[in-house]
Each structure stands twice: as C-alpha cells, then as structure tokens.
C-alpha cells in the first residue's frame, strides 16, 4: 500500500456534474406535471407540497 498517490480532482468533477442539469430542455414533461397548480395552472418552482407562486394556494401534488 503506497502513500505517494497524487491528489485527485474528483471533488471538482463532482461539483461540475452537480451544476449540470439532469434533465435537458425537451425532456420528460411528466416529471413536473405534479407541480402544476390545480387552481390556475401555474408551475411551482419546487416539488409539492408547496405553495403556488401565482395564486398562493397550496399545491399538494
């Protein structure tokens, strides 16, 4: 078991991957359908349960 291995940049590579969107534009639209407000059809910025950014009503998914 050696102790002379050079430092690796795995951390930077993982950070770059985390910044890359997992779903490209035009991906599966079904993934955000549960975010659509049932009251005004606005799309929330996060998964339910959350609050509609337009009408402020709760979105339960």
| Under rule CB under 5 A, residue 36 binds Zn ion | no
- Cβ-contact 22, 37 below 8 angstroms: no
> What span, in angstroms and rounded, lies between the C-alpha atoms of 54 and 41?
9
Stretch that binds Zn ion, among 7-15, 18-26, 28-36, 41-49 (CB under 5 A): 41-49
Q: Which CB sits closer to Zn ion, 3 or 60?
A: 60
Q: Does 43 bind Zn ion (CB under 5 A)?
A: no
In sequence order, which residues have a C-beta less than 8 Å from that of residue 45 and are 6 or more positions away?
A: 35, 53
Residue numbers of the site for Zn ion (CB under 5 A)? 37, 39-40, 42, 52, 54-55
């Amino acid at each position: 078991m050696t102790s002379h291995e050079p430092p690796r940049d795995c951390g930077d590579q993982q950070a770059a991957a985390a910044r890359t969107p997992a779903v490209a534009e035009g991906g599966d639209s079904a993934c955000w359908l549960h975010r659509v407000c049932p009251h005004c059809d606005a799309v929330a910025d996060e998964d339910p349960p959350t609050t509609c950014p337009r009408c402020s009503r709760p979105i339960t998914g």
